[in-house]
Amino acid sequence: MARFPAIAFSKIAVPKAGTLVITAGEGGALGGFGAQVDEAAGGAVSRAIKAAGFKGKSGAALDVWAPGELGLARISVIGVGKAEDMEAGDWLKLGGQIMARLQAGAGDGATVVLEAPGASEEAVAAEKAADAVLGLKLRSYKFDKYKTRKGNDEEAEAEGKVSKVTFGVAAPSAVQTAFASRDKVASGVLLARDLVNEPANSLGPVEFAKKAQDLSKLGVDVDVLGGKELKRLKMNALLAVAQGSARPPRVVVMRWNGAKDKAAAPVAFVGKGVVFDTGGISIKPALHMEDMKGDMGGAAAVVGLMHALAARKARVNAVGVIGVVENMPDGKAQRPGDIVRSMSGQTIEVINTDAEGRLVLADALWYAQQKFKPKFMIDLATLTGAVLVALGQHHAGLFANNDELAERLVAAGEATGEKVWRLPLGKEYDKQIDSKNADMKNAAGRHGGAITAAQFLKRFVDDVPWAHLDVAGTAMGSPASEVNQSWGSGFGVRLLDRLVADHYEE
């Protein structure tokens, strides 16, 4: 699949070959090491900066090819702007920008020396450097599993040459230690991206469940519930979505017990896993239906998160529950007007079979809270197009019944760059999902569509603190960024890992 460069750490030194990446501050000012390199190159770097009018703005780049007598293929100068104002997210983006620069040019080995020119402390702290390394790894991801003509792909050919990146830092062991946990989280993000990018003919509910079962290698207890178990549990809302598909549904339960008290209440994460969504009988338009392979982005994030927590041995008890189905318009498919009885006992009139994700989550949420009595529940789902209308693709929609949990999610989003924006819940919206024929209906019209979907889910949550993340605009097809050029973003893994790390570990 993706080809990642090997990452190493060493003391700051000028390499003898390959590419050297250095940073420049405002006005193109070089740091102490950069100035030494420039002097060794006979002033080639400073002359290039002046000739190109390079101002060192954040993200700007300048290449100096075959500089002086150094033996290097090139020196790549990356602007950091006002280095003293850089925050953690800026160092993450810098790492992505560096990787993009390395991919754009020839040369096998690369050395990166991070400085903060113009800052009072020019040496970059280990945590900031580790954020940059994380950004580099996230940016290096590319889903090319199914490409057979990679040799004729100029971009792939160039990327394949970046086989090793060495970070020259003041304290290599400290940066390596700081990066170790980030590396585990990155692996969770990339797993989620792989799952979202995988075509539906290769990743059905059974195959998805098998991918989740691989987490057992990390010490995660994984249980897979098949059709018989789901019927016995009376998960009829979830089963109704799956009944039109030839591929059977699965519910996967993943448990990581990392807290000292193994009996302590866990934190719980629930994911919508519709591996392909045709809309069912209420079939979607053909245009862009291929994107519906990504309608399991919420479940992918939960699997990626559980991978991250287990891999870094998070000191928390955590449960992940994903409902995995396919929504197809078979002769056995549910119809508009059908009424199903959910696991909670509440009845649902199916107005629109394309509002299927909330049916899956209704049973998964009820199961998670009844089975595990968690401290909180957070569900993730590519649930509504309405959230894109409201927020675009730079924030996920956040709905919550608990202010503290909501505030912590917002803070984690700001810290990681996986931003969320809180939208309202309220009894007024309940009226839109009330049904004449059942306890509720699964679709309430166009007005406030993301809100009424969340209000529907709220009916399957008791008093447990709960948040719903509508990631329809951020988990798939989101805008390219410094740290992600992939269609599947893995959104939610770093956000929720940060939430756990900041507030729920022992």
51: buried, middle or exposed (CB in 10 Å: 19+, 13-18, 0-12)? exposed
Given a cut of 70, whether residue 325 has pLDDT beyond it is yes
Between CA 471 and CA 484 the distance in angstroms is 16
E strand residue ranges, 258-374: 267-277, 317-327, 339-341, 347-349
Average pLDDT for 99-122? 82
Strand partners of residue 322: 252, 271
Q: Cα-flanking dihedrals φ and ψ of residue 230, to 5°?
A: -65, -35
Question: Where do runs of H (alpha helix) occur along 281-330?
Answer: 297-311
> Active site residue: 358, 408, 441, 459, which one?
358
Q: Is residue 416 a contact partner of residue 335, using CB atoms and an 8 Å limit?
A: no
Condensed to tens digits (0 to 9), the pLDDT of residues 329-381 reads: 999 999 999 999 999 999 999 999 999 999 999 999 999 999 999 999 999 99
Strand partners of residue 267: 318
- Going by pLDDT thresholds of 50, 70 and 90, the confidence category of residue 27 is very high
Condensed to tens digits (0 to 9), the pLDDT of residues 39-80 reads: 999 999 999 999 999 999 999 999 999 898 899 999 999 999
Between CA 415 and CA 441 the distance in angstroms is 38
Average pLDDT for 377-394? 97
- Going by pLDDT thresholds of 50, 70 and 90, the confidence category of residue 106 is low
Between CA 221 and CA 165 the distance in angstroms is 35
Between CA 275 and CA 255 the distance in angstroms is 22
Between CA 420 and CA 410 the distance in angstroms is 6
List the one residue out of 132, 134, 114, 133 whose CA is nearest residue 124.
114
List the one residue out of 170, 93, 166, 177 whose CA is nearest residue 127.
177
Tracing tokens 């580790």 back to the chain, one arrives at: 130
Strand partners of residue 19: 74, 110
**Structure token digits, residue 255:** 């448990």
Between CA 339 and CA 327 the distance in angstroms is 17
pTM score of the predicted model: 0.95
CA angle 494, 309, 411 (to 5 degrees): 35
Q: Alpha carbon of 76 to those of 101, 102, 458: distances in Å?
A: 8, 8, 52
Average pLDDT for 310-338? 98
Say what the pLDDT of residue 158 is.
Answer: 47
358 belongs to the catalytic site: yes
Show Cβ contacts of residue 434 under 8 Å, excluding neighbours closer than 6 positions.
Answer: 440, 441
Between CA 112 and CA 228 the distance in angstroms is 55
Q: What one-letter code names the amino acid at 130?
A: A
* Paired sense of beta strands 317-327 and 396-400, if any: unpaired
Between CA 16 and CA 462 the distance in angstroms is 64
Dihedral through CA 383, CA 388, CA 389, CA 393, nearest 10?
A: 170
Average pLDDT for 398-417? 98
Given a cut of 60, whether residue 323 has pLDDT beyond it is yes
Neighbours of 454 (CB within 10 A): 30
Average pLDDT for 17-21? 94
> Active site residue: 3, 161, 247, 284, which one?
284
The lowest-confidence range among 46-60, 142-156, 216-230, 447-461 is: 142-156
Say what the pLDDT of residue 109 is.
Answer: 85
List the one residue out of 15, 32, 40, 54 whose CA is nearest residue 116.
32
- Going by pLDDT thresholds of 50, 70 and 90, the confidence category of residue 466 is very high
Q: Is 99 left (phi over 0), alpha (psi -120 to 50) or beta?
A: alpha
Between CA 267 and CA 505 the distance in angstroms is 10
Q: Is residue 131 a contact partner of residue 168, using CB atoms and an 8 Å limit?
A: no
Between 313 and 104, whose confidence is greater? 313
